[in-house]
Amino acid sequence: MKTPPLNAVKAFEAVSRHLSVTKAAVELCVTQGAASQQIKNLENYVNCPLFIRDAKGLTLTDAGQRLAGVAQKALGELAAVAEEIIGTQRTTLSISAPPSFAVKWLIPNLNKFYEQHVDLNVVIDASCEVRSFRSDGIDASIRFGKGENLPPNSTVLGCSDIIIVGSPAYINKSPAINHHADLYEHKLISYESKTEDHRKLHKSWRGVFSELGLSLDLSKTALIFTEGHMALTAAIHGQGLALIESILVEHELRSGQLEKVLGTRFPGNNCYTFLKPEYSQKMQALDKFEAWLTRSLAGSLRSL
């Protein structure tokens, strides 16, 4: 038995939902004339009118209503199966990244990556530890460091400046901050990694005060956290001022959850780097992820 032309069925299904050739044509990305011609082709195929056309617009005939129900169901099932097949063919990338960067930047921005790459899926391993591509099953890593003596296939993404932030509630209820010396009157939230090597990578309040020619009274440091996103959460909840990489607070600054204090930016000497193996069966997918990562971070990180 001969089947109706698929393009004609698609055009009919769209027009039957909108009861408008113009809206259906826009949805299908075709001209109004092309959509109308497809409807005529289908009406010729079934040898009866599918729409009543009058001054009020379009109305489905009895035959049109029967056919519309079948067409909508069939095309819906076809789309569902196609989506299922696409899902089974997705390439999964396991990306290792520092916890704070993963939580505050990478995860919130992944939806933009998926919009551009429906064939890829990303699994995030949030860790500061060095991961092996082979033994740990990691496809690529984002690391924070000096950007020196890097292995092959490494790309320096850029450095993040350090800023001082606080919640509006905390700033409004606390002594005014007009000069750096005013920081003495505030609770300072510290981020100190568990290991000595990692601690050296992050600018501390002690280092900032030294750069400003001030001495630091450690009694003012009320809270100490081992991850940057924890310190950030404490600042959001009004527990003090946090010293944080600007890349980690883009959303909070835009939403008004946090405010910059004094407008001072301290250049960060360490950078984010993307590392991938010299050879991988997923190299094409890794190149796509790296290209997206580089473009997305270009406006937020400073070149080394």
pLDDT, one tens digit per residue, over 232-246 is: 888 999 998 988 888
Planar angle of CA 267, 270, 272, nearest 5 degrees? 115
Higher pLDDT, 264 or 259: 259
Is pLDDT of 164 > 50? yes
Is pLDDT of 156 > 70? yes
The pLDDT score that the predictor gives to residue 199 is 44
Of all residues in the chain, the percent with pLDDT exceeding 90 is 24
Q: How far is residue 94's CA from residue 203's CA, in Å, rounded to a whole number?
A: 29
Q: How confident is residue 119, by pLDDT bands cut at 50, 70 and 90?
A: confident
- pTM above the 0.85 mark? no
- Please give the DSSP secondary-structure letter assigned to residue 211: H
Q: Is residue 12 part of a domain?
A: yes
169 is in which domain, residue-wise? 162-267
The pLDDT score that the predictor gives to residue 168 is 94
> Are 53 and 185 within one domain?
no
Instruction: Write the pLDDT tens digit of every residue in 47-88.
Output: 999 999 888 888 999 999 999 889 888 887 887 776 666 555
> Are 56 and 73 within one domain?
yes
> Are 259 and 186 within one domain?
yes
Is pLDDT of 218 > 80? no
Q: Residue 203: CB partners within 8 Å, gap ≥ 6?
A: 162, 243, 266, 268, 269
Of all residues in the chain, the percent with pLDDT exceeding 70 is 87
CB 39 within 8 A of CB 33: no
Q: Is residue 190 part of a domain?
A: yes
> Are 59 and 124 within one domain?
no
CB 101 within 8 A of CB 248: yes
CB 292 within 8 A of CB 239: no
Instruction: Write the pLDDT tens digit of every residue in 219-236.
Output: 556 677 777 788 888 899
The pLDDT score that the predictor gives to residue 219 is 56
> Are 10 and 73 within one domain?
yes
Higher pLDDT, 22 or 214: 22
CB 240 within 8 A of CB 188: yes
| Token pair in block for residue 127 | 């860790």
Q: How many domains does the chain fold into?
A: 3
Handedness of CA 271, 276, 282, 283 (dihedral sign): positive
The pLDDT score that the predictor gives to residue 198 is 46
Q: How many CB atoms are closer than 10 A to CB 236?
A: 19
Planar angle of CA 141, 136, 144, nearest 5 degrees? 25
Least confident of 41-45, 265-269, 271-275: 265-269
The pLDDT score that the predictor gives to residue 217 is 65
Q: Residue 101: CB partners within 8 Å, gap ≥ 6?
A: 142, 144, 247, 248, 272
Cα Rg of the chain (Å, integer) = 29
> Are 133 and 151 within one domain?
yes
Least confident of 145-159, 197-211, 237-251, 275-289: 197-211
> Are 125 and 259 within one domain?
no
Tell me the CA distances in angstroms from 212 to 203, 208, 241, 266, one per residue in order: 13, 6, 17, 10
> Are 255 and 178 within one domain?
yes
